[in-house]
Structure 1
Amino acid sequence: MKTIEIEDDLYHYIAAQTRKIGESASDILRRLLLGEQAASQTTAAVQPETVNPEPVKPTVMLETSNTGTVFDLVSRQDLQAESSVVGRFLYLLSVLARVHKKQFSKVLEIKGRNRLYFATTAEALSEAGSSTNPKQIPNTSFWVITNSNTTRKKMMLTETAVKLGYSEQDAERIRDLL
């Protein structure tokens, strides 16, 4: 078996073409590329019969309960509507929080050498450093410092994505949206 890398949008398109539980990506591509009849003949010839076939699981799970991934939910229009870096930063954190509701509290582990970056109250951030300018992440109970340069904000986004289970490559894609 060979491994290939594909872009996220193509992966989501292929996954959306699933017709039965446990259908592998190879089965879906075979059906899409070779047609129904050719795919069923090739599949029957290639795969031995098994009593309980194991469903294929993606290696990186970016999805949560029916909400999709951060890449599905980030709207270019919404990003462009935010005129400031702080606005885009808060928007991206808000989308990450929406996609990863149960895990988002992991951001509280992200800290600087002498500074908290995230907290559950504005007071906690203000007490942890001067000139933090805490802002609430929209639609969450979390707060983040915003008085940092764009490079630091990008680093915070990257660390947040990694904490939430994204690959380094996808974390960089999220960071680059800022």
Structure 2
Amino acid sequence: MKSIQIEDDLYHFIASQTQDIGESASDILRRLVMPESLLNTDNKSVSEKVTPDSTVTNPISNTQSADSICQSAAVFSELEGQQLQAIPKIVERWLLVLSIIHKHNTQQFAKVLGMSGRNRTYFATDKDTLLGTGSSTNPKNVPGSDYWVITNNNTAKKINMLKEVAEQVGFKSAEIQQLIEIFAPEHIE
């Protein structure tokens, strides 16, 4: 096996193309740059599955655009470079994680607008909408986005909201658990 050095932006792009947990950089690059005819049948790309009738299929449907695929790998890659535990205020840490999820899942992030509790709307595209849903919502802008979120919740509620956001944009359950462990390891039971 050979090693190569690549710049950070290229690394983040490659990581954002991950389709399965544990997929190696070699598998991703092979899938992206090597024509099907060059792929060895013993070394199939992780994105391909052999069905019982021995035909090769792609698990991503043709109707699904690349922009609609959850970019959880890119989120985790960017979170690796952050020192989340060095951010003492949970609300600031939470806003940073929401910002990174939004950055890599812009189209899917719109689904959070449907999130609400009994009496409160959790996300909106303007501050006034959230102020209108309660007297102590303390709305803050999700950095780098047009979205606002209520922040006057305890840490347990923020964790639950983060789980729901991750689910809305398409994270798998194992990825959601990993995200929570990164966000607030001191609050994991």
TM-score (norm 2): 0.66
Name the CA distance, whole Å, in 1 between partners of 2:180 and 2:99. 14
Of residues 130, 133, 136, the one that matches 1:128 is: 133
Shift in Å, 1:80: 3.3
Is 1:119 aligned to residue 124 of structure 2? yes
- Following superposition, which runs of at least 4 residues in structure 1 exceed 4 angstroms of deviation? 22-26
Residues 25 and 144 (structure 1), Cα distance of their counterparts in 2 relative to 1, 3 Å cut: farther
Amino acid at match of 1:20: M
Residue 50 of structure 2: aligned partner: none
Residues 141 and 12 (structure 1), Cα distance of their counterparts in 2 relative to 1, 3 Å cut: farther
Give per-residue Cα distances to partners, 1:78-116, cap 9 Å, x unaligned: 423422100110011000100111111110011111111
Amino acid at match of 1:103: Q
Name the CA distance, whole Å, in 2 between partners of 1:87 and 1:81. 11
Of residues 56, 59, 62, the one that matches 2:70 is: 62
Shift in Å, 1:177: 2.1
Is 1:176 aligned to residue 181 of structure 2? yes
Residues 94 and 123 (structure 1), Cα distance of their counterparts in 2 relative to 1, 3 Å cut: same
Residue 32 of structure 1: aligned partner: none
SS state at 1:135 partner = strand
Residues 28 and 161 (structure 1), Cα distance of their counterparts in 2 relative to 1, 3 Å cut: same
Alignment of 1:135-150 (within 5 A): 135-150=140-155
Specify every segment of 5 or more residues in structure 1 that has no aligned partner in the other structure, as ranges.
1-6, 30-49
Name the CA distance, whole Å, in 2 between partners of 1:24 and 1:92. 39
Of residues 69, 78, 98, the one that matches 1:73 is: 78
Of residues 13, 34, 53, the one that matches 1:20 is: 34
Name the CA distance, whole Å, in 2 between partners of 1:134 and 1:160. 17
Alignment of 1:39-54 (within 5 A): 54=56
Amino acid at match of 1:144: V
Identity %: 32
SS state at 1:177 partner = helix
Residue 91 of structure 1: aligned partner: 96
SS state at 2:23 partner = helix
Name the CA distance, whole Å, in 1 between partners of 2:135 and 2:26. 49
Residues 24 and 102 (structure 1), Cα distance of their counterparts in 2 relative to 1, 3 Å cut: farther
| Larger radius of gyration between Structure 1 and Structure 2 | 1
Shift in Å, 1:14: 4.5
Residues 120 and 17 (structure 1), Cα distance of their counterparts in 2 relative to 1, 3 Å cut: closer
